[in-house]
Every structure is written in C-alpha cells, then in structure tokens.
C-alpha cells in the first residue's frame, strides 16, 4: 500500500487579476522525500509555493496537507502544523538582528528551552550566523541571508519545508554548501519541496521532479530519469 | 537664568506629553503606512475618561483618602477604554480599506476624526469640563523656580510609559512580531504571525498612550474640551514627522523638541505664536529633511 502523501495538490488554479498563473497544477509529495519543481522564469513555481502556504487564494482546486484540506486556511495557521517556506529572495526581516530573525521563526512556539536548543543547532549548521547574531539581518551578505532564511525556517521544526530557489545569486561554493545542508535537513526527517531554476543541482539532490511550464505540469518522473531526458537536458540544462 | 530653567522644566513636561501622542502616529504609520488622523481623538477621549472617573472617585470621597490609587485607576481604565475604542475604529474604518489606495484610508481617517469629536461633543457637551481640583497640590521651590508635584507626577508617568513601550517593542515577543509585521507582512504570515491581530494591537497601544497623555493634560490645565484633540494631535504629528515617521526613538525626541520649542518660543518670542512653532518645524522638516532627524539613515529604531 502506498504511503499517504504529506502534500497533495489537485488541479490548482490561481490568477493575478486577469493573468492566469497556475492552470491546473497537480502534484504529490510523500513523507521523507525531496521533490523538486523545475521550470523557466515565470512558469509559476513561486506562485505554487505561495498558494500552498495560503498567501495566494485558489480559484479552483484543492490542497491537502497530511490529508487535511488547507486551501482557504489563513496562512499564519500553517507553520504551527509543520508547513514552512523559505521564500524566494529570502525575505529576511532587515531591521531585526540575526538572533531576532531566528526567534521569529519560532514565533508560535512557547517551549523556550527547546527553542534555545534549536537555535544552538542552527548555529552548528551555520557558524557564521553565530558570529553575526547581533547584526541586523539586512546587513548580511546574500549567502548569509540564505543561511539565515533556512535557519529561521528550521526554528519552526518543519515537517514539510518548501524552498524557493535557495541557489539564487550565490557563488558555486556556497550553493554546494547550501545543498549539503538541505540533504542533512532531509536526513534528519524533514520532507522537502524544492523549487529551482538550477535544474542540474536540483535534480541531483531530489528523488523525484516535476517540470512546470507556463502554469502547467508537463512532466513528472524520477529525478535521475529527468536528468537523462534529452528534452530536459536541452531545455533546462543548457545542452544542445 | 531662573526663567530659562523654569522654561526647561515646563518644556520637558509638555514635550513628554507630545511624545506620548506622537508614538501612536508613528507606530501605526510604521505598520500600515497610514496617518491616523483620528489619533488626536483618542487623546481627547482619554482626557474625558479621566474627568469622568476622577469626578466619580471624588464624589465618593476616594480622592481625598487615596489620591494616588484614584489616579492610577483612572489612568488604567482610560487607557483600556481608548485601546478598545481604537481597535473598534481600526476594524470599522481602516481594515476594510487595507487593500485600497492610501488616499481612501486617509479620507476615512479624517471622517473618523470628525465622527469621534462630534461623538464627544454630543455625549459630553460643548463646554469645558473641569478636572477635580486638589490633586498633588504644592511643589518644590528653588528660588524663583517652582516645580509642582503635579509636574513631577506627569514627568514620572510619562517616563514610565516611554520605558514600558520601549521594552514592549524591542524586547518582547509581541514587540518583535510588531516589527516583523511592519517590515514584511507576507513573511510574517509565513512564520505564523497573524498580522490582523498585530495591527489591531498597535492601534490599541498607541491609543492607550494617547489616553494617558489626555488625562495628564486635563490635570495640568485643569479642564478638557471636545476639541482638545485637534491642535495637540497635529503638533504630535509634527513631532512624529520631525523624528522620522515610523521611528520610535524619533517620535520621543521629536515630541520633546516640539514641546521645548513651543515653551521657549512662547517665553522668549511671543506667547501669541505658541501654536505656530510646531507648524514651522513641520513645514521645514518636510521641505529640508522629509525623512526626519532619525529617518532612514539611523534605521535601528524604525518599527
Ligand atoms: N504579484 C503579481 N502580480 C501579477 N502577476 C504576477 C505576480 N506575481 C507573479 N506574477 C506572474 O505570474 C506568473 C508566475 O510567476 P512566478 O513568480 O510564480 O514564476 P516563477 O516560476 O517563480 O519565476 P522565477 O523563476 O522567475 O522566480 C508570471 O507570469 C508572473 O509575471
Ligand atoms: Mg519564483
């Protein structure tokens, strides 16, 4: 018997005014997986994640998290259930310190001791954040901000973590490091839905992948098979 | 020299009151970019709640036996009342317009201001209402300088409230959530913050401080009037702009400066122009330095 999915989208439609952004997206993520959505600029990847998190309303379709319908729920109710996003552009609170940014990740939690432990764990993963703990988030470098954004998300002890382009604008060395950490987070038991334009690294770290093109899922397969697919190689991996 | 010191003390008293009112403008602006023109009305409503409660206590004889308890009780109840009033105002007049143009919300704020001050007039009458006298009479005399006990009380309450607010905004979990909401509402929702609640709370806190200021003005000048929110409201707004709107420390500094300038201007230039100085400052700031003294360069204490 198949495991019950942790996340399921069924025929999701959204639009920004007259512009249709998602035109029937269906996808499934099972507990423990790393699943990736790859696609070109404007395909609707970020829109998909924002729709899952309740920031963008659906015109049609359903979203289930652990079997519970979450479409139409207020966004702020989802993090306590273990659904958490590291959004595109990181969205660090610029005038809060590194430490305060991390505290906000644990906003809904009251277990002060465990929060302190989790913060220590984040500092273990990203020692540079500990050195910068009293610095304003807005003054960090891009790479440090990405680490802080991931750290902030971990502070909520997510069961399902949505990551929107964690590699964006980072040097290859840092990208490497970020993806190592993502693998560690996954091994520690967090399911991951990863959105990337960098299809190569995304498909290497994921088990399964979806291809999103102008608001529609056009392909779905094991990550390995997508990596070997000539059409994907041509369209997303820059090969002719 | 004595005159100067006396003016300094008076300016500090008045400036503290402006600071309390200015904080409400600046916090609300910081969080939803709205200039809440109805804010002065919370100050007036606080002044009236003060007179109603203190008169009641006086009629029962409590003012004679427990004056400090009466003042504390009146302060607390008036602050709570105005906090709830502000949350209601926000729900009715601003929340439905949150995704409309800023002009729509501004017009709604002006309408709310007129509505509330008329409400005060209809329920409380058009004539001045005197505060019960006899509270904290007397004072210290240093040569020609007098510092009344009432002034000391006002300054201490003001300082206490300002410290309380700073701790609330910069040290507590809720205060950090307020600043997060001011900085990025989508991201705040993504970490589980309900921005509607936080916005409502911001209005409540601002109005509570304004209510405290209203009582202190009532005690200081001896009476309240339904139009009393207008001029101090605009002066406190000038203070918030001077400090850099959205900036907490800025609002406190701005209030102090406006209070000092008003008192010294009245003392050394002309008492007839005392209301003009704040506006001269407001216009100069808007012209020369629209971000205010603590504006975007010193960004640490923006909400
Ligand atoms: N706030 C908005 N208002 C109007 N249109 C929007 C808005 N946000 C996104 N869109 C449009 O919706 C479509 C999908 O955008 P989305 O941000 O989801 O793409 P994406 O796949 O994340 O792209 P990228 O790789 O560049 O981040 C695009 O055509 C975009 O122009
Ligand atoms: Mg995107």
Among B105-119, B243-257, B285-299, the minimum mean pLDDT is found in B285-299
Whether B300 maps to a domain, the answer reads: no
| Mean local confidence (pLDDT), B254-265 | 94
Contact A94, A144 (CB under 8 A): no
Give residue B63's pLDDT: 86
Name the residue range of residue B81's domain.
15-229
Q: Is A46 on the interface with B (CB under 8 A)?
A: no
Cα B282 to averaged position of ligand 2 atoms, centre (Å):
43
- Determine how many CB atoms are found less than 10 A away from the CB of residue A52: 27
A18 lines ligand 1 (CB under 6 A): no
A198 to chain B, closest Cα gap in Å:
24
The residues spanned by each domain of chain A are: 7-236
**Ligand 1 centroid to residue A20 C-alpha, Å:** 10
Looking at residue B145, what is its pLDDT?
A: 85
Nearest to A224 by CA among A13, A34, A32: A34
Residue B5 located in a structural domain = no
Residue B194 lies in a domain: yes
Q: What is chain A's length?
A: 240
pLDDT at site B278: 86
Is position B246 within any domain? no
Beta bridge partners of A55: none
pLDDT of residue B295: 67
Tokens of B158: 């003001």
- A85 sits in which H/E element: strand A83-86
pLDDT in tens, chain A (240 residues): 567 899 999 999 999 999 999 999 999 999 999 999 999 999 999 999 999 999 999 999 999 999 999 999 999 999 999 999 999 999 999 999 999 999 999 999 999 999 999 999 999 999 999 999 999 999 999 999 999 999 999 999 999 999 999 999 899 999 999 999 999 999 999 999 999 988 999 999 999 999 999 999 999 999 999 999 988 888 887 765
The answer to whether residue B249 is domain-embedded is: no
CB atoms within 10 A of CB B140: 11
- H or E segment to which residue A130 belongs: helix A127-131
Residue B298 has a pLDDT of: 47
Structural domains counted in chain B: 1
Q: Which CATH class is domain A7-236?
A: alpha beta
Instruction: Tell which B residues from 154 to 213 touch A, by Cβ distance under 8 Å.
Output: 173, 176-177, 179-180, 183-184, 186-195
The verdict on residue B301 lying in a domain is no
| A88 to chain B: closest CA residue | B187
pLDDT digits 0-9 by tens, A145-201: 999 999 999 999 999 999 999 999 899 999 999 999 999 999 999 999 999 988 999
Q: What residues in B contact A78, CB-CB < 8 Å?
A: 192
With tokens 């010294």, the residue in question is B264
Q: Is residue B297 pLDDT above 60, yes or no?
A: no
Judge whether residue B43 has pLDDT over 50: yes
Q: Which residues pair with B68 in a beta bridge?
A: none
Tokens of A17: 């005014």
Nearest residue of chain A to residue B170 (CA atoms): A96
Contact A94 B187 (CB under 8 A): no
Residues from chain B that touch A156, judged by Cβ atoms under 8 A, are: 191-192
Determine whether the interchain pair A75/B189 forms a contact, defined as Cβ–Cβ distance below 8 Å. yes
Which of B41, B28, B74 has its CA nearest to residue B240?
A: B28
Q: What is the pTM of this model?
A: 0.92
Cβ–Cβ gap A77/B177 under 8 Å: no
The least confident of A100-114, B162-176, B276-290 is B276-290
Q: Which two tokens stand for residue A127?
A: 């020692």
User: Is there a contact between A45 and A215 (Cβ–Cβ < 8 Å)?
Assistant: no
Residue B140: the pLDDT is 85
Asked if B63 and B72 count as a contact pair (C-beta separation under 8 A), the reply is no
CA dist A28 and A167 (Å) reads 23
Q: What is the DSSP string of B91-111?
A: IIIIGGGTTS-HHHHHHHHHH
B183 with A84: Cβ contact below 8 A: no
What are the pLDDT digits (tens) for B121-167? 999 999 999 998 777 778 888 888 888 899 999 999 999 999 999 99
């Amino acid at each position: 018997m198949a495991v019950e999915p942790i996340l399921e989208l069924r025929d999701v439609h959204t639009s920004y005014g007259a512009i249709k952004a998602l035109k029937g997206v269906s996808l499934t993520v099972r507990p423990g997986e790393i699943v990736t959505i790859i696609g070109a600029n404007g395909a609707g990847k970020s829109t998909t994640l924002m729709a899952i998190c309740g920031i963008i309303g659906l015109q049609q379709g359903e979203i289930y998290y652990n079997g519970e319908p979450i479409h139409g729920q207020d966004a702020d109710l989802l993090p306590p259930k273990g659904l958490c996003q590291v959004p595109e552009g990181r969205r660090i609170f610029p005038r809060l310190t590194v430490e305060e940014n991390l505290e906000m990740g644990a906003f809904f939690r009251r277990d002060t001791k465990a929060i302190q432990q989790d913060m220590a764990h984040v500092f273990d993963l990203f020692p540079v954040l500990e050195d910068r703990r009293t610095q304003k988030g807005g003054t960090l470098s891009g790479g440090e901000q990405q680490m802080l954004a991931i750290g902030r998300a971990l502070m909520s002890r997510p069961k399902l973590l949505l990551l929107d382009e964690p590699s964006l604008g980072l040097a290859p060395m840092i990208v490497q490091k970020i993806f190592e950490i993502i693998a560690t987070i996954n091994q520690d038991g967090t399911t991951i839905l990863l959105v990337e334009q960098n299809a190569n690294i995304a498909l290497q770290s994921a088990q399964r992948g979806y291809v999103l093109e102008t608001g529609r899922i056009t392909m779905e397969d094991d990550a390995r098979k997508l990596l070997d697919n000539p059409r994907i190689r041509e369209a997303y991996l820059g090969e002719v | 020299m004595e005159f100067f010191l006396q003016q300094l003390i008076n300016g500090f008293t008045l400036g503290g009151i402006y600071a309390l009112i200015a904080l409400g403008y600046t916090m609300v602006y910081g969080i939803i970019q709205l200039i809440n023109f109805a804010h002065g009305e919370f100050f007036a409503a606080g002044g009236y709640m003060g007179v109603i409660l203190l008169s009641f206590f006086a009629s029962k004889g409590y003012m004679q036996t427990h004056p400090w308890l009466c003042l504390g009780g009146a302060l607390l109840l008036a602050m709570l009342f105005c906090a709830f009033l502000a949350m209601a105002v926000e729900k009715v007049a601003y929340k439905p317009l949150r995704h409309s143009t800023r002009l729509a919300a501004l017009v709604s704020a002006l309408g709310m201001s007129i509505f509330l001050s008329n409400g005060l007039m209809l329920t409380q009458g058009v004539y001045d209402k005197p505060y019960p006298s006899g509270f904290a009479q007397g004072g210290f005399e240093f040569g020609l300088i007098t510092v009344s006990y009432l002034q000391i009380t006002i300054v201490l309450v003001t300082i206490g409230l300002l410290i309380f607010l700073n701790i609330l905004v910069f040290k507590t979990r809720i205060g950090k959530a307020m600043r997060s909401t001011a900085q990025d509402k989508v991201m705040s929702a993504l970490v589980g913050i309900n921005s509607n609640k936080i916005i409502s709370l911001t209005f409540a806190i601002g109005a509570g401080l304004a209510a405290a200021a209203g009582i202190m003005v009532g005690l200081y000048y001896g009476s309240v009037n339904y139009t009393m929110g207008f001029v101090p409201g605009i002066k406190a707004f000038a203070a918030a702009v001077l400090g850099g709107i959205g900036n907490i420390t800025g609002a406190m500094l701005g209030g102090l400066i406006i209070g000092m300038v008003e008192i010294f201007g009245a003392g050394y230039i002309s008492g007839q122009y005392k209301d003009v100085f704040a506006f001269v400052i407001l216009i100069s700031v808007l012209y020369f330095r629209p971000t205010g003294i603590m504006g975007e360069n010193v960004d640490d204490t923006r909400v």
